[in-house]
Amino acid sequence: MERGAFSGNDVAAGWGCLAGVKPFHPATQILEYNQVMDDQTTYRKALDDFRRARSKAAMQQFWAGIQGRSLDLLPYDEISAKLRAVSQTDRGVQEVPLKNIVGSVNRLQDFDRNFLPLRDDDIYRWADVKTAMTSPHGKGVPPVSLYQIGDAYFVLDGNHRVSIAKEMGMDTIEAYVTEMKTKVPISSDLTASELILKTAYVNFLEDTQLDRILPGVDFRLHLIDNYPLLKEHISVHQYYMGIENGREISFEEAARHWYETLYTPVTAAIEGSGLHHAFRDLTLTDLYLWLLDQQNALQQDFGVAFKPENVLDYAANQEGIDPEPGWSNAREQIMRVLLQDSGKLQDPYQDCLFQHIAVALSQEDSEGIALVQAVLVNRCPEGAIYGVHVERKPDPEVVENGDQFQTRFDQRLREAGMTGKFFVRQGEPVNILLEFSLLSDLLVLKLSHPPSGSLLERISHGIITVLQQSRRPVLFVKEEARAVSSILLPFTGSQKSKEALFVAAYYAARYDSDLHLLLETRGTEKDEMDRYSAQTYLERLGVKAEFHQVSSGAFADNVISLAETLAVSTVIMGGYESATILDRVFSQAIDEILAKVSVPVMICQ
């Protein structure tokens, strides 16, 4: 007779075995007989449920095989060993989400990842447990026992109970939980490939002890073959720190200094650019190594050590990626100053603002006015000027002219006691100048032909293209180069205008340049807020500035007139707020100022 079959003539053959017992009162016998019948019904249903679960498991295994997916339970022993389980904590009895139970200690061949049964001969054990769990007359079952790593759980005892609870559609199960601490946590959707990545990371942490030196910092790599390279970066940093300090530097000290001075600024620039959104399969540390690799490649190609943040924009441009504008350093620093203690002077300008300056050298600037202007602007002790001469196509006569430009460039820098490098490039001037602007902090151009009011010219003018696509300030000079000694800042409160405020305040705070702010008033609350924020920012820096207010309308004419009246050396202002064709056509104020103001004009992007 099949296990679980029940005959009314032989009570001893069923669940409620009654053979050999003493006679009972008839009512008691009827009650116990009904309980036996209920249990038999529950048991038979459990057998059917198992068969359905087995069929479902077989079908899922079939489709998983076609799709190349694994439905295996995660092996606790292997994972805890690879991830270096270092301690355990008893968490007591908890309600654990069934969807997070994804592995087992010793039943890996009996159930799949969803805890569907895989063995036909497990039918009776499975049915017995389900009957005990669901029988209206049963005493229930004890909690299961689980190991926890991260938010993933592994069954130590109670695999059948977990399988049945999932089959019944339950959300949670009562469990004794023991949490295992590992060097790297895991999630409940861990795959075999992810385990390889985590294992490599754990081995790296074991080797470098970075999880102890810099707790909480995530140095994971998707390209795991680069872990030795990452360690090498720290070791090289350690070597040069020892030379600079004249003493032996420990790996731990070097790692902390490397993290603070190199890794953090570079990864912050990556996050601010939005580049990590374009490479979703790579971690920030992957992109850090990629960026420094790009930096080394550019250094070999150009013979110049460009700054990582500039290399970031250049590399993104080469990959056809448009980095997100994000929260600019200027606006961030302004807000930081405004939120600090009002009784203490602030200095957000820890570094030289324009360390690397690119200047265009062309036939239209035969006197080298743009180069003179770049030398006057460069005030960084370790600054460099890059002269860029662009040839549209190879021409022997043009090559000879290029040699003359280089001779003049080298001589001028020697006279000024400055360093730099001269480049000759072939191609479209606008595109090449944009590339060099990305690798520099400032682009200096001789403005021989300002954009006119013609619709066609406004759409196609190269200067406007440079302004709209450059991510760096552009300094335009006309007939006379001037040192930045007196500044007029047209301030509108726009984001680009705040960039200009940051730059203008830099010159006023560091080099004691006179500063004048021109504000256009429309009688709105925003006007008052813009003035208040600008004035407060400058006061926190200890910068004195004169404020000039004009009524709305003819803003460009007011700027041109005030620049002449005050005899300023430089106009610093915000650029276009967008890069659309409409903005190119209708935002004429900047173009009018460029056309009519005789002094150098810096447009901040």
Shared domain check, 486 and 544: yes
Burial class, 389, CB count within 10 angstroms (exposed 0-12 / middle 13-18 / buried 19+)? buried
**Average predicted confidence (pLDDT) for the chain:** 83
- The span from the CA of 233 to the CA of 373, in Å, is 38
Q: Is residue 535 part of a domain?
A: yes
Q: 363 vs 452, which has greater pLDDT? A: 363
Shared domain check, 18 and 2: yes
Q: 45 vs 279, which has greater pLDDT? A: 45
Share of the chain above pLDDT 90, in %: 43
Query: pLDDT digits over 25-56, tens only?
Result: 555 555 454 555 556 888 889 899 999 999 99
Of the three residues 287, 318, 349, the one that is the final residue of a domain is 318
Shared domain check, 556 and 493: yes
> What's the average model confidence in pLDDT over 418-444?
91
Torsion, CA 269, CA 271, CA 272, CA 274, rounded to 10 = 120
Weakest-pLDDT range from 123-127, 390-394, 498-502 = 390-394
> What's the average model confidence in pLDDT over 432-440?
90
Q: Are 176 and 92 in contact (CB under 8 A)?
A: yes
Of the three residues 161, 182, 201, the one that is the final residue of a domain is 201
- The span from the CA of 162 to the CA of 171, in Å, is 11
- The span from the CA of 111 to the CA of 164, in Å, is 11
Q: Does the pLDDT of residue 12 top 90, yes or no?
A: no
- The span from the CA of 314 to the CA of 386, in Å, is 16
Element (H, E) at 181: strand 172-181
Shared domain check, 519 and 388: yes
Evaluate the CA torsion angle 131, 133, 135, 139 in order and state its sign. positive
pLDDT for 310 equals: 87
Query: pLDDT digits over 524-537, tens only?
Result: 888 888 888 899 88
- The span from the CA of 109 to the CA of 125, in Å, is 15
Shared domain check, 184 and 263: no
Q: Is residue 323 part of a domain?
A: no
> What's the average model confidence in pLDDT over 580-596?
67
| Amino acid at the residue 511 | Y
Shared domain check, 220 and 188: no
Shared domain check, 298 and 422: no
pLDDT for 537 equals: 87
Assign 582 a pLDDT band (cuts: 50, 70, 90): very low
Q: Is residue 75 part of a domain?
A: yes
- The span from the CA of 23 to the CA of 440, in Å, is 101
Q: Which two tokens stand for residue 423?
A: 């480049």
Q: Are 416 and 371 in contact (CB under 8 A)?
A: no
Q: Is residue 496 part of a domain?
A: yes
Assign 452 a pLDDT band (cuts: 50, 70, 90): low
pLDDT for 139 equals: 76
> What's the average model confidence in pLDDT over 369-379?
90
Query: pLDDT digits over 91-106, tens only?
Result: 999 999 999 999 999 8
Q: Are 103 and 114 in contact (CB under 8 A)?
A: no
572 bridge partner residues: 602
Q: Is residue 325 part of a domain?
A: no
> What's the average model confidence in pLDDT over 255-267?
94
Of the three residues 167, 201, 235, the one that is the final residue of a domain is 201
Element (H, E) at 589: helix 589-596
What's the pTM? Answer: 0.70
Q: Which residues lie below 8 Å from residue 23, measured CB to CB, with a gap of 6+?
A: none
Q: Is residue 124 part of a domain?
A: yes
DSSP track, 479-525: S----S-EEEEEE-SSHHHHHHHHHHHHHHHHH--EEEEEEEE-S-H
> What's the average model confidence in pLDDT over 303-313?
86
Shared domain check, 301 and 348: no
177 bridge partner residues: 92, 146
| Number of independent structural domains in the chain | 3
* Structural domain containing residue 475: 334-604
Q: Does the pLDDT of residue 327 top 50, yes or no?
A: no
pLDDT for 14 equals: 36
How far is C-alpha 224 from the geometric centre of its chain's CA atoms? 19
Shared domain check, 218 and 239: yes
Element (H, E) at 155: strand 152-157
> What's the average model confidence in pLDDT over 561-570?
95
Query: pLDDT digits over 156-193, tens only?
Result: 999 999 999 999 999 999 999 999 988 888 888 888 78
Shared domain check, 541 and 461: yes
Element (H, E) at 90: strand 87-97
Assign 339 a pLDDT band (cuts: 50, 70, 90): low
CATH number for the domain harbouring residue 420: 3.40.50.12370
pLDDT for 585 equals: 42
Q: Are 494 and 574 in contact (CB under 8 A)?
A: yes
pLDDT for 152 equals: 92
Shared domain check, 260 and 176: no
Phi, psi of 418 (to 5 degrees): -115, 160
Q: Is residue 329 part of a domain?
A: no
Q: Does the pLDDT of residue 326 top 50, yes or no?
A: no
Weakest-pLDDT range from 9-18, 93-102, 115-124, 475-484 = 9-18
> What's the average model confidence in pLDDT over 343-350?
52
Assign 19 a pLDDT band (cuts: 50, 70, 90): very low
> What's the average model confidence in pLDDT over 266-288?
83
3-state secondary structure of 95: strand
CB contact burial 462-486 (16+ within 10 A = b; e otherwise): bbbbbbbbbbbbbbbbbeebbbbeb
Q: Is residue 253 part of a domain?
A: yes
Q: Which two tokens stand for residue 186?
A: 């895991």
Q: Are 374 and 402 in contact (CB under 8 A)?
A: no
pLDDT for 9 equals: 35
Shared domain check, 362 and 313: no
